A and B are shown apart, each in its own frame.
Chain A
Amino acid sequence: MASNMRGLTVFIADIRNCRVRELEEKRINKEMANIRAKFKDGNLNGYQKKKYVCKLLYMYILGWDIDFGHMEAVNLISSNKYSEKQIGYLGVTLLMHENHDLARLVVNSIRKDLGEFNEIYNCLALHSIANIGGREMADSLANDVHKLLLSQNSKSFVRKKAALTLLRLYRKHPDVIPAADWAERVITLLDDSDLGITLCATSLIMALAQDNLEEYKGCYAKAVNRLSRIIIDKEYSLDYVYYKVPIPWLQVKLLRLLQYYPASEDRDTRNDLHNILQTILNNSQDTQKNVQHNNAQNAVLFEAINLAIHLDTESQIVNQAAVLLGRFITAKETNVRYLGLETMAHLAACLDSLEPVKKHQDTILLSLRDKDISVRRRGLDLLYSMCDVTNAKVIVTELLRYLNIADYALREEMVLKIAILTERFATEYQWYVDIILQLISTAGDHVGEEVWYRVVQIVTNNEGLQEYASRTVLIHLKSPACHENLVKIGGYILGEFGHLISNVPGANPIEQFQAIHSKFGMCTLQTRALLLTTYFKFINLFPEIKGEILTVFNQYRHALDSELQQRASEYLSMATMPSEDLLQTVCEEMPPFPERESALLSRLHQKNSDTEDKRTWVPGSKEANKEREINLKTSFAQRNNSFEFKSKDESNGNGEADILSSLDKKWFGKLLYNNEGILYENDQLQIGLKSEYHSRLGRLALYFGNKTKENFISFTTVVENINDLIITTPQKPSTILAPASQTQQLFHIECQDVFYELPNIRISYISGKFHTICIKLPITLNKFMEPIQLNGPEFFARWKQIGGDQREKQIVFKSNVPINIQGIRKMISGFRYEVLEGVDTNPHNVVGASVLYTSEGGMIGCLLRLEPNVDTQMYRLTIRTTNNTVTNEFCKLLEQRLMNDLI
């Protein structure tokens, strides 16, 4: 450890010796005066400045206000000595916040240190950006940081810091980071051989991907692959094993990243993921004595369960997980009980059938009485999530009972939740009224205004409720202790519906009035104003008690409060008008409230801020989560479309994006009627192709050759699937492609129905810089045809059977290349037509027959006749198929090739 500053040590010892606060203050003031004088004097050498800044920092940590010394810290940053620079940076980091006036002054020094050859200096600069990270720094330094992250020359410890520094800048100022443009390049970091870099990159990608799902979708397969390499293949160095668990931090992050995306459609990815999750679950079976080991293992396990729930709540893995969770919520360790309940709430919020959770209902109810408040909270959340019509009564009753002894911090949330559950699952009016009134009378001050507004809305809108509600509320009003919120509800309900119970013994008009008026005196002004309105309505409902009420109005005509005074005067004059017309009109029964979203729910769901991690689920019923899921999917699909559009003119500063539509390339066209050949070639990379097709199924192999003398790193291929064509790959190519070597990738293809697009394959790798290539795969409908042999009469019978009209298309076109009669026969049979001999009397003409197979769209018969005219260089092509769009498709396809290909 490096040497100490003696003056600092003495000072700290002094402070520690101060027995009382006054002494400490005295010592601090003395030191501050001393340092101020020294700074004013100037003329300090680097060591002295460093020492004084350190003393100031120590005082700062103790909680004293430090209002000077910032400039000295800034000066230290530009020192040539590392030890002084380091303290300068620490001073700036601790003493300045992002909007500090002087923060601007350090931007240049930071930039200089970012550019230094000495990596240790780079690190200091990165720390300060990550710790302060204001607007100014984000604007002027984000690019320098980005360079450090991606440069092959950067040391790994610098790149890690650069990744996280970018993360911090992105969270604070997302606009300075061109997240979408960086996507492909940043994603490749997931393949980095250094697990530390992968860890930091994953943190960064998690933030970027959440806001740019489509652009970052490539991270999905890479994350699965990395997890599989860690968990299944055990590919890691011992440094990264933490108490027998390999790099749990990275595992947790990758598992979380996958929860941001909808489940993958790709069968192989799904299988890999299944194996990973199953292995994690199996590993958790043996519990360890060691706390750290347990924690790390469980951290991964809980994240894996969350992912499993996200993928498919009905899966076998989720079933196993539910059993496991049942064990966790009775565990001895408080942390495990807490997480068990939390995860079970996630499960309950997503399940179709709540049975697996309901099994544990008694245990969960007991958790409300756990000795730890954090656990009690989770129990409450879970009960809220698992409530449905069948158990609502039990749960709500238990919650109500618990409300009396619940922590104050919890009560308001509990009241909201009870109110929501009561409303949502009530099957009898009586139960709703009883519970909600009981809730309001027990919870008292913890009841928000929303709750009683909602009760009034519901009673007004449900005729069947009104009489019972009036009767019950009157009983509450008559009890000696009645909370003001109940008086409000009582006032409103009796004013509207009091007449429904006026024949009930104990509820005649004067008794209703007296019950309310006995509480009048202890209410707030706002409630009194409301009650005056109730009385006014009473005059309309019960003319017989008009006298008593007018006395009250008369009295309040002189109230000090202007609102009460005004109401009393106005009501009085309306009530004493000669005609009752106005009174009756004004007091007409309230119309039902329009249906609206419950204010209770909106109160409960608060929104997350922009770049914070988004929740992958919300507590509550599965409907709430279904909606989220759908939103996620649609926003994903929408982005999908916009992306297609974008990729065509994509040429960003992110390495060299070599995107080409290779349709016009000679190789591609040939491959439409040949089964092997070269698909693509440039000076670095060659891609060869071999394929074979049997009716609706096909197999295709791509051979990637590295023509350079360097490794291709993070070699990645992604096939963009199209509708009705399923392409799967049993094994991804290795991520590193050595110089002058080849790797192959096999694809299984299935034609489900007629498709019209060509699938894309996107290849990216790093060789010096980052390259991406996007090419079309030569998989067209004709590949899924099987030639059939027909004789003349058979052919004509079918030709007739298909018929003309829409199903026939005939085109005449001129060839750009000389016509070769033998060549075109080969081409047509390459297109998988059987070339039929002796059907056409003209031997130059070609007649072909074939059947197209699809797994869901059935079979489609395809016939053709091609009449070349060698002299005029013209073709006439006639195609008939049993599907008119297929006819058009084949016409286009053959025309292109016949017109342009030299055979």
Chain B
Amino acid sequence: MCNFLEYKDEKVVYRRYASLFFVTGISSTDNELITLEIIHRFVEILDRYFGNVCELDLIFNFQKAYFVLDELIIAGEMQESSKKSVLRVVSQQDALEDGENGEKGWQEK
């Protein structure tokens, strides 16, 4: 099957990983294959971040999936293709959050 579908004046580029579909909408002039690989890079990064990612990780930590996506794509464009750079920034955020929780964790239940 073709991973590209033409929909009105736009194109849909999608990729399937087991039961999960990752779907993007691009303009008809965008490069389809490279979009396919943006999806793959996103999946790879999620995989590394969650450790063998599965559907449940994304459901129970949906906010994290958004944060990772924000590090990869802005304004519909690839922001950073280096896995290392993306993961570094995400773990920096997590460290900040962990620090806060460590200080005051006992207050909150």
> A residues near B, CB below 8 A?
1-4, 9, 12, 16, 45, 47, 54, 57-58, 61, 81-83, 86-87, 90, 120, 123, 126-127, 130, 157, 160-161, 164-165, 167-168, 171, 195-196, 199-200, 203, 239-240, 242, 247-250, 252, 256, 292, 295-296, 298-299, 302-303, 334-335, 337-339, 372-375, 377, 606, 612-616
Contacts and interface: CB of A to CB of B under 8 A. Distances in A.
Nearest to A172: B75
B94 interface: yes
Nearest to A155: B89
Nearest to B81: A249
Nearest to A53: B63
Contact of B74 (A3, A47, A164, A298): A164
Given A239-B84, A613-B30, A1 B74 contact: no
Given A2-B98, A199-B81, A299 B33 contact: yes
B22 interface: no
Given A83-B100, A249-B78, A298-B33, 5 more contacts: A1-B61, A157-B80, A164-B75, A168-B74, A339-B32
A58 B100 contact: no
Contact of B32 (A127, A157, A335, A615): A335
Contact of A295 (B33, B61, B62, B84): B33
B31 A1 contact: no
A12 B4 contact: no
Q: Which 9 A-B pairs have the closest CB atoms?
A: A168-B75, A299-B33, A164-B74, A299-B34, A239-B82, A2-B97, A203-B77, A374-B2, A334-B2
A284 to B, nearest CB: 12
29 contacts: A1-B64, A2-B101, A3-B101, A4-B60, A9-B60, A12-B59, A12-B60, A16-B59, A57-B62, A86-B63, A86-B93, A126-B74, A161-B74, A165-B75, A168-B74, A196-B81, A200-B74, A200-B80, A240-B81, A249-B37, A249-B38, A252-B34, A292-B37, A295-B40, A303-B31, A335-B32, A339-B32, A372-B1, A375-B2
Contacts of B63: 54, 57, 86-87, 90
A165 B74 contact: yes
A200 B100 contact: no
Contacts of B83: 239
Dominant SS among interface residues on chain B: helix
Contacts of B80: 157, 160, 196, 199-200
B47 interface: no
A338 B82 contact: no
Interface string B66-94: 11001000111111111111000100111
Contacts of A337: 2
A252 B70 contact: no
Contact of B33 (A196, A339, A615): A339
A164 B79 contact: yes
Contacts of B60: 4, 9, 12
Contacts of A120: 92-93, 96
Contacts of A61: 62
Residue from B32, B67, B74, B85 with most neighbouring chain A CB atoms (10 Å): B74
A45 B97 CA distance: 17
Contacts of B49: 1
Interface residues of B, number: 54
B81 A302 contact: no
Contacts of A613: 27, 29-30
Residue from A54, A90, A606 with most neighbouring chain B CB atoms (10 Å): A90
A171 B2 contact: no
Given A160-B79, A171-B75, A247-B81, A83 B4 contact: no
Nearest to B90: A1
B85 A302 contact: no
Contact of B6 (A81, A83, A299, A377): A377
A299 B93 contact: no
Contacts of A200: 74, 77, 79-80
A83 B89 contact: no
Contact of A83 (B31, B33, B66, B101): B101
Given A12-B59, A82-B100, A86-B93, A161 B37 contact: no
Given A61-B62, A242-B41, A374-B2, A196 B75 contact: no
A86 B71 CA distance: 13
Nearest to A196: B80
B5 interface: yes
Nearest to A409: B6
A16 B60 CA distance: 10
A855 B61 CA distance: 72
A700 B61 CA distance: 64
A127 B70 contact: yes
Contacts of B97: 2-3, 82-83, 86
Residue from A81, A171, A195, A298 with most neighbouring chain B CB atoms (10 Å): A81
Nearest to B50: A1
Contacts of B50: 1
A171 B60 CA distance: 34
